[in-house]
Amino acid sequence: MRIGIPDDGGPLVPATPTTTARLVGLGYDVLVSAGAGAGAGFPDAAYEAAGAAVVSDAEAWASDVVAITRAPDALATPGPAGLRPGARGPDGLRIGAVLIAQIAPAARPDLVRALANRGVTALALDAVPRISRAQSLDVLSALSNVAGYRAVVEAAAEFGGMFSGQVTAAGTTPPANVFVIGAGVAGLAAIGAAGSLGAQVRAFDVRPEVAEQIESMGATVVRADDAAQQVSTDGYASSLTADQEAAAQRAYAVETAAADIVITTALVRGTAPTTITAEMVANMRPGSVIVDLAAPGGGNCELTVPGKRVVSDNGVVVLGWTDLPDRMPRHTSELLGTAVANLVQLGTPGRDGRLALDPEDVVVRGMTVAAGGEVLWPPPPVAVSAPASGVEPAETSGSRRARPTNRARPTGGGASRHARPTGKPAHPAVRAVLIGLAATLAALAVAASPADQAAHFTVLALAVVVGFYVISHVSHALHTPLMSQTNAISGIILVGGMLQIGSANPVVTTLAVLASAVASINIFGGFLVTHRMLGMFRRGPADVSEAQVTPVIRASDTGADEGSRR
């Protein structure tokens, strides 16, 4: 079968040279329209090197499987004799073809009907079921991640200052204050990008369970307990009640008045609720920036105009860009291409170059909006095993529904072969009995030991208990430096073991040899792991030499602080 990659006129392309090689490896003939990847920085020669054929746009559209970034606005209905000769663009899509694209089926029923009338099997990349097995196909989350990052880039370009605080001989400047509304995929990406630039980031979400995620990104959680909501059992975010909305609005009013940058991401089933009123904008400082990631759904700010840059009467810039992922075409195309390749691989179990879609597969069924001349949207609901308390709603730009936080699995369509047995935890009573038995045996061992040995057993027991509670409460981020400290403890054990090797008691000598061997393995292995971990954060010689670093560090009078240079 032939897979066509037409040029749909935008900067994005749903296949990169890397993913094209994957498709060729699955047995397909890949036809790429000339210049289709130019906007993302992929020349035709790169596609040819990956095994694709560079063809005309009409030939790419006439392929058995056609992959584009977004579905066309309209599609001509074929006449009694079929398609007219020489049809161009989307009208060149042949009868019975497979179309892979972002279709937005809920908002474009006429297009879905037109695809069904042509007999096209339409697979919507933006209708992937939010289950763990389909995460590699989740285009919406990938694009939301890009949009959140790009939102900070756009805000930095508009803001009249630096994000990080500066300490210079001439004085100091404070860091920028960034307020993010919504801690979904886009919100967390924005928090991470703003924090990496040195800004002081505060974030709010109506879901109290995401507070830990916000803090893990280095931001401060804005709390409004009266605005907290629970998630519905169907996995969708729900609208706020009047009381919840009023409490949230009070928090927004306080935070926006103190913020230099505001990034909003709130979407509920594709609709953007109003979070920033015109009155709040009027209370913001001149020169402040609002980036509305919910502009495609109408916008969270009352002054947002989708696709436009608006300046308020008091000098606040409101950005309503709807094409933020398109402004980073290379990486966005890589994400799109990977999702398309994963989908084709899912439908090609035999790696024989033939797409065999399983309609019983819950993932394939959820994405199929038209097939066999019939409209198949909306799909049947996906039954998941996640309870309501374990669901994380998608209040983020580009997200439609919740992502189960406990890796919920579908109950049909081949899900059983992906299910993994989970071990049954021990009953609390059994654990208590085992702990009591171990304590009794330890006490008997101490009682039977000589008096001078009882003190050693006591010290050992206390060290085990204290060590367990200390290490179990150490953050995961500190495990690598903690390993280096435990290496020092192992060094003490090694020295003590070596001193006891010459003992006249053979038992003591044997234990000393074993202790020395184990401590040596722990020391060398620990330092090896630590070295490799630290190497992930170390620049290579090709990046910068020490001769280049020295003059930068000494240039403290230029206003660049050491923290921002690293």
pLDDT, tens only, 242-297: 888 899 999 999 999 999 999 999 887 678 999 999 999 999 999 999 999 999 98
Report the distance separating Cα 502 and Cα 513, nearest Å.
10
141 part of the active site: yes
Asked whether the domain spanning 144-326 has the same topology as the one spanning 2-137+329-382+413-417, the reply is: yes
Percent over 70 (pLDDT), the chain:
79
Instruction: Give domain limits for the chain.
Output: 2-137+329-382+413-417, 144-326, 424-473
Work out the pLDDT band at 388, boundaries 50, 70, 90: very low
Compute CA distances 157 → 95, 151, 255, 288, 317, whole Å. Answer: 47, 10, 22, 12, 11
- CA-nearest of 303, 296, 313 to 276 is 303
3-state secondary structure at position 125: helix
What angle in degrees, to the nearest 10, is found between the helix axes of 479-500 and 506-535? 150
Greatest mean pLDDT range, 226-240, 477-491, 495-509: 495-509
Catalytic hit among 70, 136, 196, 236? 236
3 near 347, Cβ under 8 Å? no
Q: Looking at residue 478, what is its pLDDT?
A: 60
Q: Please state whether the predicted TM-score (pTM) of the whole model is above 0.95.
A: no
Q: Looking at residue 239, what is its pLDDT?
A: 74
- Evaluate if residue 408 carries a pLDDT over 60: no
Work out the pLDDT band at 542, boundaries 50, 70, 90: very low
Backbone angles phi, psi at 138, to 5 degrees: -75, 90
Q: Looking at residue 229, what is its pLDDT?
A: 74
pLDDT digits (tens, 9 = 90+) for 248-263: 999 999 999 999 999 9
543 part of the active site: no
Sequence-ordered alpha helix ranges (H) in 417-505: 428-448, 451-472, 479-500
Which one has a higher pLDDT value, 340 or 441?
340
Q: Which two tokens stand for residue 118?
A: 């042509």
135 part of the active site: yes
Work out the pLDDT band at 51, boundaries 50, 70, 90: very high
Residues 6+ apart with CB under 8 A from 204: 179, 180, 181, 182, 183, 221, 222, 223, 224, 248, 251, 252, 255
- Evaluate if residue 402 carries a pLDDT over 80: no
- Chain centroid to Cα 296, Å, comes to 20
Q: Looking at residue 476, what is its pLDDT?
A: 57
Q: Looking at residue 492, what is its pLDDT?
A: 82
3-state secondary structure at position 259: coil
27 near 348, Cβ under 8 Å? yes
Catalytic hit among 102, 141, 229, 249? 141
- Evaluate if residue 434 carries a pLDDT over 60: yes
Report the distance separating Cα 77 and Cα 75, nearest Å.
6
Work out the pLDDT band at 474, boundaries 50, 70, 90: low
Q: Which two tokens stand for residue 217?
A: 């990104």
Q: Looking at residue 283, what is its pLDDT?
A: 97
Q: Looking at residue 415, what is its pLDDT?
A: 38
- How many other CB atoms sit within 10 Å of the CB of residue 168? 13
pLDDT digits (tens, 9 = 90+) for 319-365: 999 999 999 999 999 999 999 999 999 999 999 999 999 999 999 99
Work out the pLDDT band at 546, boundaries 50, 70, 90: very low
Work out the pLDDT band at 383, boundaries 50, 70, 90: low
Query: For the purposes of burial, counting CB atoms within 10 Å of the CB of 366, is it exposed (0-12), middle (13-18) or buried (19 or more)?
Result: buried
- CA-nearest of 295, 244, 236 to 269 is 236
Catalytic hit among 132, 135, 345, 500? 135
- CA-nearest of 500, 516, 496, 520 to 508 is 500
- Evaluate if residue 235 carries a pLDDT over 50: no
Q: Looking at residue 4, what is its pLDDT?
A: 97
- Evaluate if residue 561 carries a pLDDT over 60: no
Q: Looking at residue 45, what is its pLDDT?
A: 97
The pairing of strands 29-33 and 2-5 is: parallel
Percent over 90 (pLDDT), the chain:
51
Catalytic hit among 2, 22, 118, 130? 130
71 near 16, Cβ under 8 Å? no
Tell me the residue type at 351: R
Burial 392-411, CB ≥16 within 10 A → b, else e: bbbbbbbbbbbbbeeebbbe
Compute the average pLDDT of residues 211-225. Answer: 92
Question: Is 144-326 a CATH 3.40.640.10 domain?
Answer: no
Mean pLDDT taken over the chain: 82
Class of domain 2-137+329-382+413-417: alpha beta
Which one has a higher pLDDT value, 133 or 4?
4
Burial 2-30, CB ≥16 within 10 A → b, else e: bbbbbbbeebbbbbbbebbbbbbebebbb
Work out the pLDDT band at 418, boundaries 50, 70, 90: very low
3-state secondary structure at position 552: helix
Work out the pLDDT band at 234, boundaries 50, 70, 90: very low
Q: Looking at residue 238, what is its pLDDT?
A: 64
- Chain centroid to Cα 472, Å, comes to 27
130 part of the active site: yes
416 part of the active site: no
Catalytic hit among 91, 138, 326, 361? 138
Report the distance separating Cα 138 and Cα 184, nearest Å.
14
Q: Looking at residue 343, what is its pLDDT?
A: 96
